[in-house]
Structure 1
Amino acid sequence: MTVGEFALATGLSTKALRFYDERGLLAPADVDAHPAYRRYAPGQIRTAAQIRVLRAAGLTVDDVRSVLADPASLSARLEAHAAELRRRRDLEDRALALAAAGVYAAPDPDDDGGPARPGPVAERTVGPTPWAGVVQRVALDEAGEEGTTERANAAFAMLFQALAEAGSAPAGPPWTALRPVPGAADVVETVLAVPLSGPAPAGLRVDGHEVVTGTLPRRVERYVDVRADAGETDLLDDAPGGELPHPDLLGLMDAFDAEDAGAAPEIRQILVDPEAGHVELAVTVREEVGPGQR
């Protein structure tokens, strides 16, 4: 059969036939080297039809080539592909529901034309807070992975032990904060901090970690209280790039941007009760002068 006849019989264009020939899926039965005519055997129509079916099902060219080379692998490859399609369909359905619910849509403006203020955002005044912490570097492609969380938990345990040995008492729940690493766009530093009832002990050491200390000044904080529950927003943690930012974090940033445009706030994730899924997200809005200060 000529290329034209074979194309009409199979529904594959001459361009597609040449592509599958080059990729090793469907070579002509005969090629006349001088006029470069290609001819196909009638029995190859079945192969062409199978290629069309498998490609229409979404299998890759490499997968189709493997099936043609090893027909016994067809069932297992189809089962694996069907499972992947179901996973992707589930993710797409959840993303569609999330988009339709408007959770991540831009907030509607108020009647006066100003931006709508998110409901869960609140403010509080906090006194000076001495703290001590350790620093961990995290590659962005590792952020959120279980191993990263385990390393953070181990570092916190070592920090608490070092503080106890130094006679320094925590003054509240610990927090974490991210900060960029100069010259390393794909790496961030995580500060794991513990608020203290007094100044950080001099010479504090935590084996294998960089120790940092400081004092947050008296300040006004803007914060949201985040609690995990059964009705919590689906953050699509199985989506490419990992889970979405929590809606309450977006509300916090919307409120911050509305009144403090151009600022770059440090977001502190305060671990109120992490095992129960209870955290606070806080940023400093402004520093305040305390009583007796000028």
Structure 2
Amino acid sequence: MLSISDFSEMCCLSPQTLRFYHSEGLLVPAAVDEQTGYRSYTFDQIERAMLITVLRGTGMSVKLVRRALDEPDTANALLQQHTLEMQRQREAQDEAIRDARELLTSWPEARVHHVPEMTVVSKLVPGPSAGPDEYDWDQADTAMSATVREVIETVRSCGAVVSGTPWRAPAIETVEQKTRNLTTTGPHWLVKVPVTANEDTLAALPGDVEVQTFEARTELSIFVPGRSSMAKYGSALSRLIAHPLDDAFIDFSRIRQVLHDDGVETAVAICRLDEADVAG
């Protein structure tokens, strides 16, 4: 039998770690003295300790390691599942590092630019199944990307050409959309895909999409790298609001978010005060 001290040295596991593994049922001593509480181990347990160390080194939780050891037939599948999760985490960390580097190097600045008139194909994005007190931006982005792909495939199959970067806009173009937009299930967004096509091609598009004319306008926009989040969205709005404009104001009812490959550009229409007076 090996004392906990000797077993600790042989396995390169601290006594504290061995006590923790014992409490978690991961590595139970061969014997525990009832009077002193001293733990003793056998040489046979060194192999299990080594395997635990290897699996824990992959980042697997104690619970997952215990399951892999208790159910050897599922160990490879559990390791594969854990590997995929670790890859997703590393990809997210790499993306966060790129975003941080870009933000620290050059903080995004708002810019004024002209957007020409264009023909767009619009489609509602299915609303996320978020709870009443949260909005899942990752889930929304996944649904958004899927809808953009669907629209692009649809227009191309009908012979139209995608002529610009897609964007999303709040689903508030009709009374029904405005009502449903206020619910947790939505839908909350519309995707818009700029296209070039003749009238016959546009007429051949299916009924679940709508052909619209996006009117030319001057915009104030700001690009924020990386995935969407409420914090990034709020930061973009804050920068847009703070940007000085001469004899003009921004119209948030005509907000859109251009979906670039490396981030999101939030844009709002600029209205000149003299134009607003004429319209009124």
TM-score, normalising length from structure 1? 0.51
Structural mapping, 1:174-189, within 5 Å: 176-177=169-170
Q: Which residue of 2 aligns with 1:259?
A: 244
Are 1:146 and 2:138 matched, yes or no? Answer: no
Q: Which residue of 1 aligns with 2:34?
A: 33
Q: How many matched pairs?
A: 214
Aligned-pair CA distance for 1:48:
1.0
Residues 96, 226 of structure 2: 8 Å contact kept: no
- Partners in 2 of 1:71 and 1:270 — Cα distance? 49
Q: Which residue of 2 aligns with 1:43?
A: 44
Which 10-residue stretch deviates more, 280-289 or 23-32?
280-289
Q: Which residue of 1 aligns with 2:268?
A: 282
- Partners in 2 of 1:225 and 1:75 — Cα distance? 47
Q: Which residue of 2 aligns with 1:114?
A: none
Quickly say closer, same or farther: Cα 1:144–1:97, change in 2 above 3 A. Answer: closer
RMSD (Å) for aligned C-alpha atoms: 5.4
Superposed CA deviations along residues 126-151 of structure 1, whole A, max 9, x for unmatched, are xxxxxxxx9x986413534539987x
* Paired letter, 2:47: R
Partner-residue secondary structure (3-state), 1:33: coil
Q: Which residue of 2 aligns with 1:53?
A: 54
Q: Which runs of 5+ in 1 are unaligned?
A: 108-116, 125-133, 154-174, 193-219, 227-232, 272-278
Residues 221, 266 of structure 2: 8 Å contact kept: yes
Paired residue for 2:219, among 222, 229, 239? 222
Quickly say closer, same or farther: Cα 1:264–1:21, change in 2 above 3 A. Answer: farther
- The list of structure 1 runs, each at least 4 consecutive aligned residues, that deviate by more than 6 angstroms after superposition, is 147-150, 178-181, 184-189
Q: Which residue of 2 aligns with 1:200?
A: none
Please say which structure displays the higher CA radius of gyration: 1
Q: Report the structure, 1 or 2, having the larger helix content.
A: 2
Structural mapping, 1:27-106, within 5 Å: 27-102=28-103, 105-106=106-107
- Partners in 1 of 2:240 and 2:169 — Cα distance? 21
Structural mapping, 1:192-203, within 5 Å: none
